[in-house]
Structure 1
Amino acid sequence: MPDPPSSLRVLSLNCWGLKFLAKWRNERLTEIGNQIAAANPPPDIVGLQECWTQQDYNSIRDKTKHLLPYGKFYYSGIFGGGLVILSRWPIEESNMVQYPLNGRPAAVHRGDWFVGKGVASARIRMGERRRDIVEVFCTHLHAPYETEPHDSYICHRTAQAWEIAKLMRGAAERGHLVIGLGDFNMVPLSLAHRIIETQSPVRDVWRILHPDSSLGAAKDKVEKLRGLPMPDAQFNIDKNGTTCDSAFNSWRWNEAHKKRLAKGENVTIDPSVPDPNAKRLDYIFFSSGEHHDASGERTPEWTLKEASVGMMMRHPTLHCSLSDHFSIEATLIRNPSPIAAPSNGTLALPETYLAIETYDEILATITKYTARERTQRRLRMGHFGFQFLLTVGCFVAVWWSPHNYVSFILMFVSSLGLSVGVLEGLMGGLFVGSELRALREFEWEVRNTRERAIKREDSEQ
């Protein structure tokens, strides 16, 4: 095996590869493969989201296998999780951990439950030593279909952030370099963001370099309260790291620009145009892979060199953006000083906690969502009971039916009603019951951590 690297280039991109729904999917994802292969500097580890089909994965692999010879397409749920990890070095182990809370089957038009969202993890060996291991976690958290605090899925996304934070903390305690990347569907310093950076030792690479960057879109209340001037499109890219809803992205253009694009015109966007909608949803988190040096002190083995927004080029013939997101990219460099691994093979990382009020906020969210689901279960089971009685009533009515066509209508109504009732009963009795149990597990973990935080606070006082 060659010598371990002194630097590491990481790239994360939501490809927007929805089958049958995403326009020009094949053409765009093929070009994404071309651009990854031609990137300068070339990436060493790539995490992709919304790469839903094996065909698209194979297309990207064919374009990049000379640069990234190792890869994994992750299978999950009914339609697949859409997650991919590509690597310059061998993937020793791999795992797909589905989130316990992940949407609702009744929301067919949203699809989060059906794709089985979770965390794709890969243990990658860059050299022969134990410390030459990087653990990569690629994810796509539940989308916010309403604005907070009215987002009915905020409990799901909060639980998902908690889950990936636990996985990354475990990897950091093994002394490995940890990289978490993906479309987290959250804005900086939101609850999910704070959970990840507090419950695990990873840090958001963009906020390391740009601690005063935006906390959402310029039109959002959180940004208006800061009293900053309206950012232009280029400032949002360079300073705020916006990867979604950018004025540069053709899939977010107004109808006039879209019509020009449909006619084959290569539309140019002025970098100084106001950009009120752009926000940062895509992230790279990393933990430095701390080890003990000869004196017993912890020393960070990896440090952040740079981070940037990438994959902003257009398709060469279609002139559209390659995805409805831009990529987030980062370069890590290795500490050249000699470091010895701890003798026991693990690191006792210092525990960090959120504010007690934040744990109370999470518990209140869980309580509110639990009450909602209990109501949903009663309604769905009640609907099942009603449809069952309706079916029995239709069967009885057939006995006194004066005409065959009336009997047909009664049988059709009874069959349709019973089918709907059974689906409602399954969702109310099985799915909601499963979700309530997952909520109880999540609640226990939060309460347990809250108790430890209180004890820490008391001891410090």
Structure 2
Amino acid sequence: MAEHTSNPPSRLRILSLNCWGLKYIAKWRNQRLEEIGNQIGAADPSPDIVGLQECWTQQDYNAIRERTKNILPYGKFYHSGIFGGGLVILSRWPIVESSMMRYPLNGRPAAFYRGDWFVGKGVACARIRTGPARGDIVEVFCTHLHAPYESEPHDSYLCHRTAQAWEIAKLMRGAAERGHVVIGLGDFNMIPLSLAHRIIETHSPVRDVWRLLHPDSSVGAAKDKVEQLRGQPMPSAEFNIAKNGTTCDSAFNSWRWNQAHKTRLAKGENVVIEPSVQDPSAKRLDYIFFSSGEHRDPDSGEKTTEWGLEEACVGMMMRHPTLHCSLSDHYSIEATLARSTASPSATVIDRESTSERYLPIETYDEILDTITKYTAREKMQRRLRMGHFGYQLLLTIGCLIGVWWVPHNYVAFILMLVSSLGLSLGVTEAFMGGLFVGSELRALKEFEWEVKHTRERALAQKLNERDQGSYQAV
């Protein structure tokens, strides 16, 4: 394994990809993930740090590691939840510290058909040493936020995703305050400038690499109302990739094709999609956020930002060489960071101007309103579940009493079966309502407290700025 050298790197090449490695569900999973490993290993220039999502099994992780170990000798497969979080971090340099932080709010166990709660979604954290100096540290945060199952603001999991964005923003802010380079990457299941996106960019000093280079890029799929309000023409598939950075639901991606194209693909045909085809559904869900580390000038003693953004692109668009399908239902987002001294053209973040930024007061009110509505929903769920438990308990007692009076054994058997199944269901509901919902309500209280106190600080800053403006006017 290659250790870090005495000369720290002048560039950092970063790649993030949702692999779509759902066991038993994702088609051609083994073949696709092996080819993902092949393509990462053969990339030129090769990546230095890779974050993967939906790499659910140790087998798939080992297959990718085997194919990338020559360029990425260090790696970590993160364990979380009942079925695993699906998160992986690979690195050219040693991972000196690692942890898995699970989100306090993360789906509901009753929604077993969705699985978010069972996989224990959270943030895979890795501290990577790129050189011998004290400041040669990169902190990487790889995540996969809760999936949206309805459109905002009607998504019943909006509160969960908002809280998760708040949590990862805190982690990245802490890393930036330590003076380290911060990289947040993954499938954030949000569109640009959504509430979760604004929370991350406001409550931590990180910036979305794509919007740094393409500030006028789309904020949703072309067919969505939020994008139609911008009055932009219908984009082509090529334009969406090059300018809008769309990583999901692209017309180029074989897993989003219509049935006619899928039939041709199933027959072994290598279907070619014209770059000019209209692309109304593509959107950007995958992100790389970064914040530069700080170094102190040895002569002046002033703090200077060290890293800037050089380029960003959508990648991993190649097809499987024999199956001719896309390697995942997402494409990768890739970025290159350069030391500001090595690349004068790199986009550098002004950390001083972002150190104490707040969202508008009405946005905090919006978050608090979301928490209030979701809390009321969960309290109602707890009452319904506990009521269901009481009903099933009474039904069980009734069946047991009825056994004494029925004339036939088969009727007694049916009553006993009904009582057993009913009691099992009732006890499950009691656990769900009494334990899980109770735990979730406590997590909501913590989140609410943080938002309220941040709102107070934002309001105090606003009043202070207004007072200073009045004083200067006088």
Same fold (TM over 0.5): yes
2: distance between equivalents of 1:126 and 1:307? 21
- Amino acid aligned to 1:135: E
Aligned pair count reads 452
Give 1:64's match in structure 2, choosing from 63, 68, 73: 68
Alignment partner of 1:333 is 2:338: yes
The equivalences for 1:133-172 within 5 A come to 133-172=137-176
- Amino acid aligned to 1:292: R
Give the secondary-structure state (helix, strand or coil) at the position aligned to 1:189: coil
Give 2:357's match in structure 1, choosing from 333, 352, 359: 352
Give the secondary-structure state (helix, strand or coil) at the position aligned to 2:20: strand
Give 1:74's match in structure 2, choosing from 78, 103, 107: 78
The equivalences for 1:248-397 within 5 A come to 248-293=252-297, 294-336=299-341, 350-397=355-402
- Amino acid aligned to 2:334: E
- Amino acid aligned to 1:420: L
Match of 1:343 in 2: none
Q: Which runs of structure 1 show a deviation greater than 6 angstroms over 4 or more consecutive aligned residues?
A: none
Question: How big is the shift at 1:350?
Answer: 2.3
**8 Å Cα contact 1:173-1:349 kept in structure 2:** no
Percent of aligned positions that are identical:
80
Match of 1:9 in 2: 13
Match of 2:345 in 1: none
Task: Name structure 2 gaps, 5 residues minimum.
Answer: 343-351, 467-474
Alignment partner of 1:447 is 2:452: yes
Cα displacement string for residues 413-443 of structure 1 (whole angstroms, at most 9, x for unaligned residues): 0000011111111000000000000000000
Match of 2:54 in 1: 50
**8 Å Cα contact 1:306-1:332 kept in structure 2:** yes
Match of 1:415 in 2: 420
Match of 1:399 in 2: 404
Question: How big is the shift at 1:89?
Answer: 0.2
Alignment partner of 1:226 is 2:230: yes
Give the secondary-structure state (helix, strand or coil) at the position aligned to 1:306: strand
RMSD: 1.1
Question: How big is the shift at 1:290?
Answer: 2.4
Give the secondary-structure state (helix, strand or coil) at the position aligned to 1:42: coil
- Calculate the TM-score normalised by the size of structure 1: 0.97
Give 1:426's match in structure 2, choosing from 431, 434, 457: 431
Question: How big is the shift at 1:296?
Answer: 4.0
Match of 2:203 in 1: 199
1: distance between equivalents of 2:158 and 2:280? 24
1: distance between equivalents of 2:137 and 2:310? 19
**8 Å Cα contact 1:173-1:348 kept in structure 2:** no
Question: How big is the shift at 1:190?
Answer: 0.1
Question: How big is the shift at 1:299?
Answer: 1.6
2: distance between equivalents of 1:349 and 1:292? 18
Alignment partner of 1:459 is 2:464: yes
2: distance between equivalents of 1:295 and 1:282? 40
1: distance between equivalents of 2:318 and 2:393? 57
Alignment partner of 1:213 is 2:217: yes
Give the secondary-structure state (helix, strand or coil) at the position aligned to 1:239: helix
2: distance between equivalents of 1:263 and 1:150? 40
Give the secondary-structure state (helix, strand or coil) at the position aligned to 2:142: strand
Cα displacement string for residues 143-185 of structure 1 (whole angstroms, at most 9, x for unaligned residues): 0000111100000000000000000000000000000000000
Give 1:121's match in structure 2, choosing from 125, 130, 136: 125
Cα displacement string for residues 343-399 of structure 1 (whole angstroms, at most 9, x for unaligned residues): xxxx99721100000000000000000000000000000000000000000000000
1: distance between equivalents of 2:450 and 2:214? 32
2: distance between equivalents of 1:348 and 1:144? 33
Give the secondary-structure state (helix, strand or coil) at the position aligned to 2:312: strand
Give the secondary-structure state (helix, strand or coil) at the position aligned to 1:362: helix
Give the secondary-structure state (helix, strand or coil) at the position aligned to 2:27: coil
2: distance between equivalents of 1:300 and 1:238? 28
